[in-house]
Amino acid sequence: MSKSFAHALFAISACGWLVVTSNCSAAALMDEITVTGSRTEQKLGAVPAAISVVDENAIQLGQQQLTLDESLVRIPGVFLQNRNNYSQAQRISIRGFGARSPFGIRGIRLIIDGIPATLPDGQGNVDEIDLGSASRIEVIRGASSSLYGTASGGIINVFTEDGPEHPYIQGRASTGEFGYRQYQLKTAGQYDRLNYVFSASDLDLDGYRDNSYIRRKVLNSKLRFDIDDSSDLTASINLLDVPDMGDPGALTQAEVDRDPSMANPSSLTFDGSEGRSQQRLGLLYRKQLGHHEFLLKNYYTFLDFENKLTFVGGIPLSNGGQVEFDRQFIGAGGQYTYSEDVLNYRFRFIAGFETDFQRDDRRRYTNLATGIKGILTLDQREKVASKGVYLQNEFAVMDNVQLTLGARYDKIDFDVIDHFLKNRSGDDSGTSGFDRLSPHAGLLWDPLENLNFYLNYSTAFETPTTTEFANPLGGGFNPDLTTQKADSYEIGMKGDLKSAIPFDYELSVFRINIDDEIIPFEADGFTGRTFYRNAGISTREGVEAGINAELFPVLTASLAYSYIDARFDRFRTATENLDDKKIPGVPDQHMHAELRFEDPSGLYSIWDLLYVDNFFADNANLVRIDPYTVSNLKLGYKKDLDNWTISPFMTVNNLFNEEYHANVRINATAGRYYEPAPLCNVSGGISARITF
């Protein structure tokens, strides 16, 4: 055990003793927050896991509503990069899982209004999330495969707001530097048995760097119909249209020093860009019969995608490539929950199943100068089918001690059908399959109503995505790539105190052992294109702490701190010995602090600060990324005029002109690691709501 890990264990014990010996008889705030992290609603303090909640005020008040980092940055253990390159999508890492991804989300399950937004192969994307209509985001940190399948890092659960009793219509317009313009129109309310929310947003942004523009339209709606007093049907409809967004690419240090706003020359040569059009429909039926609850869900996602790549190399050499695919993602699931007090002890039993199917019709062409499509070089159909069943039992063994036991079995099959080479000189068709049993055990002890201790052991596994399965030697799947497995051990505490300064807190210490961790690399002859291999054995040890305090009735403060020691224990390639090297893309420490002032007159100001420690950009730990500290300021005013609410607002990002990298490309070749962030920039706008 490392010294830092031992110190963290001592810290959690000391903090627990201080809380236990404090005198507090007020009702616990944790008992007022309901979460769904354990697949069913229960109090936040009753979940034996590290789970945090971001409320509607933190998501929407004064925010630009561009990316998830505006909301999730305040959660310990969550590290976010890539806010400014929309074609790569936001990189979200929980306890180091997800840091490898060059684009999109890996190792973390994304769920929107109870409907999975992560594909069967593990890919996720946040473009479709409409933050302007989100009411709550729950984040589970840690291995979660026992309930959710392939989820090494955790779960992000996004909830659209419900319509209020009195309907409203709201418009919002904002503008700022780098050609930023965003408009939103939203209406919500209750009509007889129908609860509804409709939100449409339109984003137009040129971007700080050359070729970093985005044009995006999102329509998000949620309709819940109360069939009777015990059942309801919810339909979630989401339409996404991103006709064009540029990829500025990564730079060398010399290029950053010369002009951090420039694009990678290859991005301009090959017109690096991406476009996508997606439609998603989710149906969720709930029925409550006394102590029994039944849930059924069905969902459909259709995506048209095209991407002009900027890498140099491939087949044939000396060009990048253009990728096009049509995707179908269809799934269904069901769950049964039984809850009752048995012999005056809490008892809850959960059983469920999920089945998903994904089909990608993928084609690749050469990418000629200025982005003109060349000849066809790859044509294949990729299929992924997953099936999972899970059980969980929660029961109180004493008045204040709860035991949770659960397990899930998953089977995931990959199939690629080659339509290109089989008509020529070969056939890269192939299949691959994985199955895994993922157990989980948790123990919760609440000696006081303001204090909860927990222990848990959980497991996780993660398959390569269809993109990560790409074969450096040609089409088909990489036969040398397999799943990564993780065993997680965690001890934590959480609660709240209604003292002179009311506050709630959370503290967790964890160790995760990983076999065959999936690691990115760039193969010779493919500058800028990422492939994947398995490492040997790696570990993560860390501590996470969070606190929210009400300093005065108008002033609150929050602090989120994370420390992690993530390294390869055994990892050797044909040319390198990487034993005991730090895992790239994972900072040792990061901390977020926020002061929020909200006056009854309607005036508000929010100041926050993010510190990120140094980390490495490569497996060999030869390229170190310097620490940085970024500060932001939000100002606004909410004025009620009869049935109108008017709210002007302003945001100052990077208040003190910190020079840092918004994103770092892991294990890049030719020294192209860096995607610089903009210096101080300002945006502002106004929203108006009328309530009927």
The pTM for the full model equals 0.89
Q: Please, what is the Cα angle at 294 between 292 and 296, to 5 degrees?
A: 175
Kindly report the CATH number assigned to the domain that includes residue 594. Answer: 2.40.170.20
Residue 535 lies in a domain: no
Summarised one tens digit per residue, pLDDT across range 146-201 is: 778 777 788 999 999 999 999 999 999 999 999 999 999 999 999 999 999 999 99
Which segments of 29-113 does DSSP mark as H helices, in order? Answer: 56-60, 69-72
pLDDT at 424: 60
* Strand 78-81 to 91-94 pairing: antiparallel
pLDDT at 32: 53
Which segments of 284-405 does DSSP mark as H helices, in order? Answer: none
Which residue's entry shows tokens 């967790």? 508
Q: How far is CA 489 from CA 512, 587, 646, in A?
A: 6, 21, 49
Q: Up-side HSE of residue 208: CA atoms within 13 Å toward CB?
A: 21
Return d(Cα 149, Cα 129) in angstroms, integer.
22
Summarised one tens digit per residue, pLDDT across range 531-560 is: 888 888 999 999 999 999 999 999 999 999
Return d(Cα 100, Cα 586) in angstroms, integer.
9
Residue 533 lies in a domain: no
pLDDT at 430: 81
- Render 543-601 in DSSP notation, one character per residue: EEEEEEEEEETTEEEEEEEEEEEEEEEE-B-SS-B-TTPBPTT--SEEEEEEEEEE-TT
Element (H, E) at 326: strand 321-342
pLDDT at 449: 80
Residue 534 lies in a domain: no
Yes or no: say if 527 and 501 are a contact pair by the CB < 8 Å rule. no
Judged by DSSP in three states, 468 sits in coil
Residue 515 lies in a domain: yes
Ranges of the chain with pLDDT below 70: 1-45, 102, 145, 311-320, 422-426, 473-476, 522-529
Domain count, the chain: 1
pLDDT at 24: 33
Which residue's entry shows tokens 């019709």? 361
Which residue's entry shows tokens 């890990």? 5
pLDDT at 360: 94
| Bridge partners, residue 414, by sequence | 384, 432
- Containing structural domain, residue 403: 3-423+433-528+540-691
Residue 678 lies in a domain: yes
Yes or no: say if 28 and 46 are a contact pair by the CB < 8 Å rule. no
Element (H, E) at 413: strand 401-418
pLDDT at 67: 85
Residue 317 lies in a domain: yes
Closest CA relative to residue 417, chosen from 479, 360, 357, 471 = 360
Strand residue runs (E) in 192-230: 194-205, 214-228
Residue 14 lies in a domain: yes
The 3-state secondary structure of 495-515 reads EEECCCCCEEEEEEEEEEEEE
Give the dihedral of Cα atoms 635, 640, 641, 645; nearest 10 deg.
70
